[in-house]
Amino acid sequence: MIMMSPLRRNYRIIVALWFVLGSVLMIGSVYVGEYILILLLLFTVAIGVYCLTLKCPSCGKSVLHNPVKILGNDLYIWTPWIPKSCAKCGEKL
Question: What is the distance between the alpha carbons of residues 48 and 17, in angstroms, rounded to a whole number?
Answer: 12
Question: What is the distance between the alpha carbons of residues 46 and 29, in angstroms, rounded to a whole number?
Answer: 19
pTM of the predicted structure, to 2 decimals = 0.74
Question: What is the distance between the alpha carbons of residues 72 and 47, in angstroms, rounded to a whole number?
Answer: 33
Give CA 12 to chain center in angstroms: 8
Mean pLDDT, residues 65-91 taken together? 87
pLDDT of 66 over the 70 cut: yes
Residue pLDDT, tens place only, 1-48: 567 788 888 888 999 999 999 898 888 888 888 888 888 889 889 998
Contact 91, 5 (CB under 8 A): no
In total, the chain counts a number of residues equal to 93
pLDDT of 69 over the 80 cut: yes
Question: Can you give the pLDDT at residue 20?
Answer: 93
Contact 64, 79 (CB under 8 A): yes
Domain boundaries, the chain: 6-78
Mean pLDDT, residues 40-58 taken together? 89
